[in-house]
Amino acid sequence: MCVGLDPHASLLADWGLDDTPGGLERFAGTFVEALGGRVAVAKPQSAFFERHGSAGIAVLERAVADLRAAGCLVLLDVKRGDIGSTSQAYADAYLDQGSPLAVDAVTASPFLGTGSLEPMVATARRHGAGLLVLALTSNPEAPQVQAARTTDGASVAGAVLDWLRGLNGDETYGSFGAVVGATIGETAEDLAVGGPLLVPGVGAQGGTAESVRRTFGAVLPHVLPSSSREVLGAGPGVAALRDAADRATDAFRDLLAPGGAQ
């Protein structure tokens, strides 16, 4: 299970915290205390820290370090995408394990062309990190780009998935995966890319274990379901956050139990 660390202003208020670096620090600290080492993957959304400037980035650095020390894999949700030296700079910032913001994996946008992400791919390989690339997101605007056709007739999403499949090669669980929304419904695209499938939108956004089963079928073992609002909305109590995360985890554990995906 992946749980998002998304300290947006309204959630800070719901937790009785100020929309300041101090409130952000308390929010992140509670998240680490409650879920560090309890869920497989933590997914901080970088933008909610960046909006507080350098003080917010400092909170993010500490949260990442504390989560990794507790045994979580950290997937930083940054959705970066650029070309050349800028793409390499993003890779150095997050995937070089000597960086202050080093994480286990990042989200990336391929819509400047999959080749634009090659510096991130090479850096991830060099440092044993991962890359989760936008492919079939569930926001209403997504089909404008993702369902468009390339010059060879494939959809843009299909081209991205095929590229990831090539990166992973014969590996059963490679380091290069796709972001596919939990609520996209049926798709004709081949989701077997040989890497993880980050599936956001579970819980408050409408995705359920059953809807994920219908969409992902044979590739369920590669699915990393991700919930943010459903779990974070149970805070600020540590016990309540743990209970919410445990419930979400149990639902998907049952799905993957023998016979559960039939």
Residues carrying an active site annotation: 79
Neighbours of 262 (CB within 10 A): 5
Please state whether the peptide bond connecting residue 236 to the residue before it is cis, i.e. omega within 30 degrees of 0. yes
26 DSSP assignment: H
Task: Specify the DSSP class assigned to residue 45.
Answer: B
Local structure of 156: helix, strand or coil: helix
What is the pairing mode between strands 176-180 and 41-44? unpaired
Q: What three-state secondary structure class fits 212?
A: helix
Integer Cα distance of 6 and 47 in angstroms: 9
Token reading at 71: 């045994």
* Residue 31 contacts residue 237 (beta carbons within 8 Å): no
